[in-house]
Amino acid sequence: MAPIKMPEVIDLTSETTQSDAVRLLSHWIDLTVPEYRAWAPPECAPVTLRNGPIFPPWITLDKYAGLSPGTCVELHSTGPHRNGDIFYIVHILQNTADQLIVLRGHRLVRARHMGGMLQPRRKELCLFVNAGLDDTRPFLTQGMEDVPAAEVIMPRTVAFVPAPSSGWQLGNATQPILVDSDAEFSCRYVLVSWHKSTAARTTKRAYEGELRGLYASEIAFFTGEPVGPQRVCPMSARRLPGEVTYWDGFCGLGGAAQGAKMAGARVECAFDIDEKACTTFKLNHPEAEVYRIDAHHFAQDDGPASCSPDLFHLSCPCQPWSPAHTRVGKNDEANEAALFVTSAILSKYKPKIHMQEQTFGLPGWHPTQFSALLNMISGEGYKVRWKVADLKDYGVPQKAHLLPYRTIHDAVSRIPDTAPNHRSRITWFPRPREPYNATRTMASCVLASGGCRDHTPDGRRRFTPAENLALQTLPWDYKFPARLTTGTMKKLIGNAVPPVVWSTVRVGDGGADKGDVVMDEGERRTPATPPKDAVDLTLDEEEDRALGGDEGEVEVEVIDIMDMDD
């Protein structure tokens, strides 16, 4: 191994002569010289910090027209928001130059205006926050909004209370949810939309997000009451005790299960409707109990006896939701219905952690179905966190939305000629295709059909199944049943979840906070007996008419994968 050559360093304490300094700096370009100034990167336009410090001519007021910080009011919106939103006032601002009054605080959106993310219960609110990943301030600080005081209709009372945990049984949607009768509204949930930057918050849709119940510290922010006992769980210690049990739904050939095994989990159970996928899974994970069954029957009496695994991963069919899906398929109806079995599976097996992987087309092209999925998961008491991820950020040598990056050469160069399903599965092209540099190129997304660049760097042949396995970060010697065609192998590989992704994100999936996680001591307690006087938060059907709001659906902010490379 060649010795590492360290760059020369200028020691300002030494007696270096001017000629020595000129020699050392000769390879640098002075961008202050006019002829080189054009080489400098363009200066970014300054971004105004939203909810920044309050400077003249703005001042804060203690009271205005009977309103004060800590008060909740109902708004008649003149902008893109719906009428009937509730606003929690943090600051009352006045511009001394023109006497304009502005309220700064948090927007609370009615559950029925959440685009299906929550059950549309009467008097149910959700804290709605937009935050930037490049903003180091707490999200409750950076997520505040400014609204004109002229939009205020009337004061309202809101009870900020914890949401049910996954141990509670919510029952059906018409079951009454009870809160303190002294309040007109209840706020139990928060929707946080994380944007890539502060600038993108005003021009782009959310890059990732979370939908969950309010933490005790957040409830204390709004109520002023002291926070109860808490346990701080560092990210490095966020692991389940003992051996983690793993179940895999829509398992395919076992890509996600392979990643779980790499992470140290014990693969216990899996199901899939495809016979070849189940056979392949069992060959590579013989310790698991594999069910060849559809998801609906697995969630009923045909699945295993009711028990609670530590991790339950679902990878529902992605074809109906993919942007590449341009024509109707014979299995579209069944594949679409598979997504909506999530609630039944979570209700029966109650895993400690639930994970799903889907195509970016679900939130980007099908926001209604995406919102319904979030509703199903949060309705079972889970804190939901989602993100549009680029697989190359996890060490997968392909461009797909789901350091130096791994390249095609990194993935396939170490496969021996004697590898199974390799040299014996070569398909030569009658006419060579355009070659490319494998050391600087990542593969296109490995599809069930092989992908749009399904050929070797020299352009002479297609990738073999062993090479497709390597591109998908599966072992190149992964086992397949006898007499499978090359096309069937590539279809199974293309439908697989890259295991390196699962093994990389395993630690960070346990909580919804950025950084360390604070878990309330009372988070898993069963609810106390309801108060005698309580407000019924049953489904709201007619109150919209009284608000004077516009008819029709409201556009809810979802992940837009078209912004990933902006």
How many other CB atoms are found less than 10 A from the CB of residue 115?
20
Q: How far apart are CA 515 and CA 498, in angstroms?
A: 25
Q: Which of 314, 289, 287, 316 is nearest to 303 (CA)?
A: 289
Angle at 478 between CA 477 and CA 484, to 5 degrees: 110
DSSP code per residue over 492-553: HHHTSPPHHHHHHHTGGGG-SSSSSEEEETTTTPPPPPPPSSEEE-PBPSSTHHHHTPPSSP
> Which of the following is catalytic: 316, 318, 445, 452?
318
Q: How far apart are CA 138 and CA 135, in angstroms?
A: 8
CB 429 within 8 A of CB 460: yes
| DSSP 8-state code for residue 348 | H
- Asked about 318 being catalytic, the answer comes back as yes
Ramachandran assignment for 35, one of left (phi > 0), alpha (psi -120 to 50 degrees), beta (any other): alpha
Residues paired with 230 in a beta bridge: 520
| DSSP 8-state code for residue 321 | G
* All residues at 6 or more sequence positions from 28 whose CB lies less than 8 Å from its CB, including other chains: none
Query: Which tokens in the block code for residue 195?
Result: 């944007």
Given CA atoms 552, 556, 559, 562 in this order, what sign does their dihedral have? positive
Residues paired with 180 in a beta bridge: 534
Q: Which of 123, 103, 98 is nearest to 112 (CA)?
A: 123
Which residues form the catalytic set? 318
